[in-house]
Amino acid sequence: MPTTSLPESLPSYASGAADAPMLGDTIGDNFDRTVAAHGDRLALVDRGSGRRRTYTELAADVNTLAAGLFGAGIAKGDRVGIWAPNCAEWTVVQYATAKVGAILVNINPAYRSHELRYVLNQAGIGTLIAAPSFRASDYAAMIDQVLPECATLERVVLLGSPEWNRLLADGRAALAEDQDVLVRAQAALSADDPINIQYTSGTTGFPKGATLSHHNILNNGYFVGELCGYSEQDRVCIPVPFYHCFGMVMGNLACTSHGAAMVIPGPAFEPGATLAAVEAEKCTSLYGVPTMFIAELADPDFESYDLSSLRTGIMAGSPCPVEVMKQVIERMGMTEVSICYGMTETSPVSLQTRRNDSVDHRVATVGRVGPHLEVKIVDPATGLTVPRGEPGELCTRGYSVMLGYWDGSEKTAGAEPAERPYKLETIDAARWMHTGDIGVMDANGYVAITGRIKDVVIRGGENVYPREIEEFLYTHPDILDAQVIGVPDPKYGEELMVWIRMREGAGPLDADKVREFCAGRLAHYKIPRYVHVVDEFPMTVTGKVRKVEMRERSLELIEHA
């Protein structure tokens, strides 16, 4: 009788066991529980305005605005847009809309009028709360410009305006007359209701609205905080934008679900202001994408800041360079710093390193699957799970996967949010979210992200992963940061180009010097043909490098070389 041989290795699949159960309440109810338990503790510091709030004081602000919104006819399922940089009001709006069940639509502070018009119409926003302006952006003027073309927009409230003050005054009056108005509003809500729409880039060129429920984002913030070891003793410095999951979920919701304090160092990221906030507020945790940490470490006054209060933090948003991670641990004292991996469509975190992980695990992987979640790595061509140690597309499933992309078409315009046929697109029939990222899972379940499927450079038939080359170039003593892209080539199909930022005082590098540094240490087909030295990379508001824009500009540079 023939014998059946066993597979040589386990499949690239892992599920996240957890001691703590998932939270089953709404964001508003969870916030109220924290206020009851930690009312006298510091909840929010807005360094830009100088405002400080205990949980009891923050709850008063939230309830006042929530009652004002409810009194203005804003209720469960209505879309409320927020268009502002990081500030105390952003946080208040986040929790106030959650209490009345309105769906908060996050609008990128960098949007211009045509992008604003698209989101207002696609989400069917009825009320827009916005800063009057920020830096060079005149939000009020852009709103006036698009208003005639936005059929659903009924109310515009600028922060600090008479309309804003009236909304708060009406809320105070409503609560004085009926203290239970919000109790009744919250009792009508389900944790499975949609509560947030976040726009993410789409392949068609139009952003897509990932629709997230209370259950999605509250649990994700809670478990991220659990793995960071948060308690009411923690103070979390949040320089990442609130309009993105990193700020409002991993930041705000991780804090409020643990009674920790949210520290806003400024309306937008500035390395000096961030370091000053950590020192002044004795922050125990600091967030950022790699480019933010690079900027902080390179700050000329870095050594003058007292960062001894730091123990942890999160680095996420894009691949984390090994050398940068090591400096964050050694020079910033963030010995428990965590790497998180995720995407807007998964609320966002799917994988995270643990506090007791080795330095190697924290610099070479994005950790293990989060509590109550599943991940697997599949062959993109067949959909079959690959053996551990082999690369493939990372997929994730569980409580964090979005309801779907918001369908703004006419056929669903009048439907209740809970009844809408959300567009799934990247979610398969078994509810696996396909990330588009290439990952490798080791024998212990740790996952390394080696690139994006669409970012793989195919040079002369060889698959080249930019991350590998970038990590190598970080070892050059004069290179501060490096980003590798593929550009068209008539002979090889694609060629490699690297954009480089130099350390202060270092001499420029040309292509010959880069090739000399790589020779003998990288395979010949991995050595960049083109080198472009810049002061800054094109960036998104969240601090991610815009490789699409880099490719476009690179074509012009090569053409005119």
* Per-residue pLDDT reduced to its tens digit, 355-408: 999 888 888 899 999 999 999 999 988 999 999 999 999 999 999 999 999 998
The SS3 call for residue 35 is: helix
What is the DSSP code string of 52-97? Answer: EEEHHHHHHHHHHHHHHHHHTT--TT-EEEEE--S-HHHHHHHHHH
* Residues shown for the chain: 561
pTM for this prediction: 0.86
Q: Which pLDDT score, from 0 to 100, does residue 191 have?
A: 98
pLDDT-derived band at 204 (thresholds 50, 70, 90) equals: very low
Question: Residue 475 CB: number of other CB atoms within 10 A?
Answer: 12
pLDDT-derived band at 45 (thresholds 50, 70, 90) equals: very high
What's the rounded Cα separation, in Å, for the pair 200 and 426? 13
What's the rounded Cα separation, in Å, for the pair 541 and 207? 15
What's the rounded Cα separation, in Å, for the pair 398 and 366? 18
The residue type found at 451 is G
Q: At what angle do helices 27-38 and 214-227 cross, to 10 degrees?
A: 40
Give the pLDDT mean for 309-324: 86
Is the per-residue pLDDT at 410 higher than 90? no
Asked if residues 213 and 75 have their Cβ atoms less than 8 Å apart, the reply is no
What's the rounded Cα separation, in Å, for the pair 484 and 550? 9
Residue 278 CB-density burial (10 A; 0-12 exposed, 13-18 middle, 19+ buried):
buried
Q: What percent of the chain has pLDDT over 70?
A: 97
In what helix (H) or strand (E) does residue 435 lie, and over which residues does it extend? strand 433-441
Is the per-residue pLDDT at 4 higher than 90? no
What's the rounded Cα separation, in Å, for the pair 245 and 216? 11
Q: Which pLDDT score, from 0 to 100, does residue 201 have?
A: 62
Q: Which pLDDT score, from 0 to 100, does residue 525 have?
A: 83
Question: Residue 275 CB: number of other CB atoms within 10 A?
Answer: 26
Q: Which pLDDT score, from 0 to 100, does residue 243 have?
A: 95
Q: Could you give all domains of the chain from N- to C-terminal order, each with its CATH number?
A: 27-439 (3.40.50.12780), 456-559 (3.30.300.30)
Closest CA to 533 of 560, 513, 559: 513
Is the per-residue pLDDT at 479 higher than 60? yes
The SS3 call for residue 327 is: helix
Is the per-residue pLDDT at 430 higher than 90? yes
What's the rounded Cα separation, in Å, for the pair 186 and 184? 6
Cβ neighbours for 260, distance < 8 A, ≥ 6 positions apart: 225, 230, 231, 232, 233, 234, 235, 236, 254
How far does Cα 278 stand from its chain's mean position? 21
Q: Which pLDDT score, from 0 to 100, does residue 542 have?
A: 63
List own/partner pairs for 531-538 with CB under 8 A and 24 or more apart. Answer: 531/497, 531/498, 531/500, 532/497, 532/498, 532/499, 532/500, 532/557, 533/499, 533/500, 533/501, 533/502, 533/508, 533/509, 534/499, 534/500, 534/501, 535/501, 536/501, 537/291, 537/481, 537/483, 537/499, 537/501
The SS3 call for residue 248 is: helix
pLDDT-derived band at 264 (thresholds 50, 70, 90) equals: very high
The residue type found at 272 is G
The better pLDDT of the pair 422, 374 is held by: 374
| Residue 264, token pair as written in the block | 């806003």
56-109: per-residue pLDDT in tens?
999 999 999 999 999 999 999 999 999 999 999 999 999 999 999 999 999 989
Closest CA to 125 of 188, 67, 70, 83: 83
Closest CA to 80 of 39, 123, 42, 43: 123
Closest CA to 339 of 360, 347, 331: 360
Asked if residues 320 and 311 have their Cβ atoms less than 8 Å apart, the reply is no
How far does Cα 296 stand from its chain's mean position? 19
Q: Which residue has the tokens 């991996």?
A: 341
